[in-house]
C-alpha cells in the first residue's frame, strides 16, 4: 500500500489571505508556518497587545561612530544568552546564581517569556527562583501577561509551526525570529483547562530551578572545604604559565613518564600534596583501573548511549534524551552503567562529573570518553570533590595529544584528592542523593504536565 502524500496547508490561497500577509513568500503558505495562518483566521483569537503584553529586546551594547560607547554593563554582570534557554526552562551557569547587581527593564522578571532569536528557537518561562540578571540582544522578552496567558503563549511559541512562521522570510543565510511578527501574533483565547494547568507548571518549573541552585550551593560548600586542604601554600603562584614558558626548576621526584612541562609541573604539585598535606590518589580510594572491553557489535535489544554532551551541571543526565545510536560501537563500553558509579569526562577543557546514584531504568552504555570509577565508599561525596577547582586544575594538566583537549585512558587515577573525613563525605553523599532523587521526581512531573499542555494545544490547533 502506497503512503499517502502529505497535503499542503492550503490547496488554494485566497485573496484575503494574500492581503493579510506581509509578503508573498512560498514558505508562508506551503511550509509549517502556513498552519499558523489557518489557525489565526479563526474567531476568538487575540493579539499579544490585547492580552496586555509587550515585546522588546534584551540588552544591546550601543557603539557610536565617534567611539563613544553607551549602556555599558559592569564587567562582573552576568548575561543570560541563547545557550541558556530551553523549552520552558532556563539553564543558568554558575555565574547566574550570584546576587543581581542591576535593576533594568532588560533584567528578567517572574512571568517573563524569553525567546532566543536564532534557531533552534526556544521560549522560556521565567519563575521566581530565576535570578534577575539581564538577557542579551539576541533574545526577546515578552512581559506583562498573567500566569495563564504566559503559560499558553510559551506553549504556543515552542511549537514548530509557530517557530517556522516567526522565522519565515527573515533571511537567506541566518534565520531570525521576526520581532514585528511576534508583536502582531494572534493566538487563541486561553482554554480554561490551561489556566489550571499553568499553576502546576509554574510550581514545577520553579522547583526545578530552585533545586538546581541548591545543588550549586552544595557544590560551593564542598569546593570551599576542599580549598582549605591546600591553603597553606601557593604551589605554583598566579603567574605559573609564564614561569613554565621562561623556565622553571622542578625536583627529580616530579619527573614521571612524560617530560611535557605541564606533566612535570603536575608531578611537582603531587609531590608536595602527598608529602606535606597527605593527599591520596584516586587509585587508593577506588577499586583501581579495570579492564573495559568495548561493545563492538550492536545488541539485540534497544539500548541508550551516554555521551559527554548528555551530562548536565547537576551530576546527572536526562535518560529520556539519550541517543539510541552511535557511529562507532567500538568506542562504547560493553558494560552498562551501574548504580553508584562515578563518571569523569576525559575532555580536560570542560570536565563533567556524573554520579549514577540509582539503577537506571534503561540499559545505558557510556562511550569511552568517560573514565569510570567505583569508589570504596561515599561515591556521591567523592563525585562532589571531583568537581572542585583543585581537582579540575589537575585534570586540565593531564592533557595529551596535539590539540591538548583529552586525557589518556587511565591517567585520571593519578589525580590526588584530600583526606576528607568519612563522616563529612557521607553527609555530602546523602545530600547529593537527595538532590538527584528529587530531580527525577520533578522531571517526571514536568514530563506529564508538558504532555497535557501539548494535548490541549493540539486539540485547538487541529480542530
Exposure class string for 23-48: b at 16+ Cβ within 10 A, else e: eeeeebbebbbbbbbebbeeeeeeeb
- The region of weakest confidence among 88-92, 153-157, 178-182, 340-344 is 178-182
Answer with the residue of higher pLDDT: 137 or 126.
Answer: 126
Half-sphere exposure of 160 toward its Cβ, with a 13 Å CA cutoff?
Answer: 3
Q: What is the mean pLDDT of residues 41-66?
A: 77
The pLDDT value given to residue 65: 44
How many CB atoms within 10 Å of residue 155?
25
**How far does CA 188 lie from the centroid of its chain?**
32
pTM of the model: 0.86
The confidence score (pLDDT) of residue 200 equals 97
Residue 157 has pLDDT above 90, yes or no: yes
pLDDT for 73: 73
Lowest mean pLDDT of 67-71, 357-361, 400-404, 416-420, name the range. 67-71
Domains within the chain, CATH numbers bracketed: 15-190 (3.90.220.20), 219-229+279-427 (3.90.220.20)
Average of per-residue pLDDT across 246-259: 63
Mean pLDDT of the chain: 84
Under the banding of pLDDT at 50, 70 and 90, the label for residue 261 is confident
Alpha-carbon distance of 355 to 335, in angstroms, equals 16
Task: Indicate if the pLDDT at residue 131 is higher than 50.
Answer: yes
| pLDDT higher than threshold 50 for residue 390 | yes
Cβ-based burial of 328 (10 A; exposed 0-12, middle 13-18, buried ≥19): exposed
* Reported confidence tier of residue 237, pLDDT bands at 50, 70, 90: very low
Instruction: Tell me the per-residue pLDDT of 340-378, one tens digit each, with 9 for 90 and over.
Output: 999 999 999 989 999 999 988 888 999 999 999 999 999
Answer whether residue 391 shows pLDDT above 60. yes
Give mean pLDDT, residues 31-38: 67
Q: Give the pLDDT score at 345.
A: 95
pLDDT tens-place string over residues 301-320: 788 999 999 999 999 998 88
Q: What is the 3-state secondary structure (H, E, C) of the chain?
A: CCCCCCCCCCCCCCHHHHHHCCCCCHHHHHCCCHHHHHHHCCCCEEECCCCCCEEEECECCEECCCCCEECCCCCCCCCECHHHECCECECCCHHHHCCCCCCCCCECCCCCEEEECCCCCCEEECCCCCCCCEEECCEEEEECCCHHHHHHHHHHHCCHHHHHHHHCCCCCCCCCCCHHHHHHCEEECCCHHHHHHHHHHHHHHHHHHHHHHHHHHHHHHHHHHHHCCCCCCCCCCCCHHHHHHHCCCCCHHHCCCCCCHHHHHHHHHHHHHHHHHCCEEHHHHECCCCCCCECCCCCCCCCEEECHHHECCCCCECHHHCECCCCCHHHEECCCCCCCCEEEECECCCCCEEECCCCCCCCEEEECCEEEECECCCHHHHHHHHCCHHHHHHHHCCEECCCCCEECCCHHHHCEECCCCHHHHHHHHHHHHHHHHHHHHHHHHHHHHHHHHHHHHHHHHCC
For residue 86, what are the contacts with CB-CB under 8 A and spacing of at least 6? 122, 124
pLDDT beyond 70 at 3: no
Percent of the chain with pLDDT over 70: 81
Most confident segment among 55-69, 119-133, 235-249, 358-372: 119-133
Give yes or no for residue 43 having a pLDDT over 90. no
Between the ranges 17-31, 64-78, 151-165, where is the mean pLDDT highest? Answer: 151-165
Using pLDDT thresholds of 50, 70 and 90, give the confidence band for residue 141: very high
pLDDT at 240 over 60: no
**Cβ proximity of 311 and 352 under 8 Å:** yes
pLDDT band at 178 (very low <50, low <70, confident <90, very high): confident
> Lowest mean pLDDT: which of 156-165, 243-252, 433-442?
243-252
Task: Determine the pLDDT at residue 11.
Answer: 56
* Max avg pLDDT among 45-54, 183-192, 344-353: 344-353
Average pLDDT over residues 131-146: 94
> What number is the average pLDDT over the span 245-262?
64
| Mean pLDDT, rounded, for 139-144 | 95
Report the pLDDT value the prediction gives residue 238, as an integer from 0 to 100: 43
Q: Has residue 185 got a pLDDT over 80?
A: yes
Least confident of 83-97, 183-197, 240-254: 240-254
Amino acid at each position: 500500500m502506497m503512503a499517502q502524500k502529505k497535503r499542503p496547508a492550503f490547496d488554494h490561497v485566497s485573496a484575503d489571505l494574500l492581503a493579510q500577509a506581509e509578503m508573498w513568500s512560498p514558505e508562508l503558505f506551503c511550509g509549517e508556518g502556513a498552519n499558523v495562518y489557518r489557525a489565526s483566521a479563526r474567531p476568538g483569537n487575540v493579539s499579544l497587545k490585547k492580552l496586555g503584553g509587550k515585546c522588546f529586546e534584551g540588552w544591546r551594547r550601543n557603539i557610536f561612530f565617534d567611539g563613544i560607547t553607551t549602556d555599558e554593563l559592569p564587567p562582573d554582570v552576568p548575561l543570560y544568552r541563547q545557550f541558556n534557554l530551553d523549552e520552558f526552562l532556563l539553564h543558568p551557569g554558575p555565574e547566574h546564581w550570584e546576587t543581581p547587581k542591576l535593576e533594568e527593564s532588560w533584567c528578567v522578571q517572574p512571568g517573563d517569556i524569553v525567546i532566543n532569536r536564532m534557531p533552534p528557537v526556544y521560549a522560556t518561562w521565567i519563575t521566581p527562583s530565576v535570578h534577575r540578571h539581564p538577557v542579551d540582544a539576541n533574545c526577546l522578552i515578552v512581559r506583562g501577561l498573567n500566569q495563564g496567558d504566559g503559560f499558553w503563549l510559551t506553549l504556543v511559541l515552542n511549537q514548530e509551526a509557530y517557530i517556522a512562521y516567526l522565522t519565515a522570510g527573515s533571511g537567506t543565510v541566518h534565520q531570525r525570529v521576526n520581532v514585528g511578527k511576534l508583536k502582531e501574533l494572534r493566538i487563541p483565547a486561553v482554554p480554561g483547562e490551561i489556566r489550571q494547568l499553568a499553576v502546576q507548571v509554574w510550581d514545577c518549573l520553579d522547583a526545578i530551578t530552585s533545586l538546581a541552585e541548591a545543588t550549586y550551593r552544595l557544590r560551593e560548600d564542598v569546593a570551599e572545604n576542599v580549598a582549605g586542604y591546600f591553603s597553606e601554600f601557593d604551589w605554583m603562584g598566579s603567574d605559573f604559565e609564564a614561569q613554565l614558558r621562561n623556565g622553571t626548576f622542578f625536583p627529580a621526584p616530579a619527573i614521571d613518564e612524560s617530560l611535557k612541562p605541564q606533566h612535570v609541573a603536575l608531578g611537582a604539585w603531587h609531590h608536595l600534596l602527598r608529602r606535606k598535606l597527605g593527599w591520596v590518589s584516586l587509585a587508593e580510594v577506588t577499586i583501581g583501573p579495570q579492564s573495559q572491553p568495548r561493545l563492538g557489535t550492536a545488541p539485540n535489544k534497544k539500548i541508550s548511549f551516554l555521551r559527554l554532551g548528555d551530562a548536565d551541571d547537576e551530576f546527572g543526565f536526562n535518560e529520556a534524551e539519550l541517543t539510541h545510536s552511535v557511529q562507532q560501537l567500538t568506542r562504547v563500553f560493553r558494560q552498562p552503567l551501574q548504580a553508584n558509579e562515578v563518571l569523569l569526562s576525559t575532555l580536560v577543557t570542560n570536565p563533567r562529573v556524573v554520579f549514577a546514584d540509582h539503577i537506571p531504568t534503561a540499559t545505558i552504555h557510556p562511550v569511552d570518553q568517560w573514565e569510570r570509577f567505583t569508589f570504596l565508599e561515599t561515591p556521591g561525596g567523592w563525585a562532589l570533590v571531583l568537581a572542585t577547582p583543585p581537582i579540575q586544575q589537575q585534570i586540565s594538566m593531564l592533557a595529551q595529544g596535539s590539540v591538548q583537549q583529552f586525557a589518556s585512558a587511565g591517567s585520571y587515577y593519578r589525580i590526588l584528592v584530600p583526606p576528607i573525613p568519612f563522616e563529612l563525605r557521607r553527609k555530602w553523599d546523602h545530600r547529593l542523593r537527595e538532590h538527584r532523587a528529587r530531580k527525577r521526581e520533578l522531571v517526571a512531573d514536568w514530563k506529564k504536565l508538558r504532555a497535557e499542555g501539548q494535548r490541549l494545544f493540539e486539540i485547538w490547533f487541529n480542530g
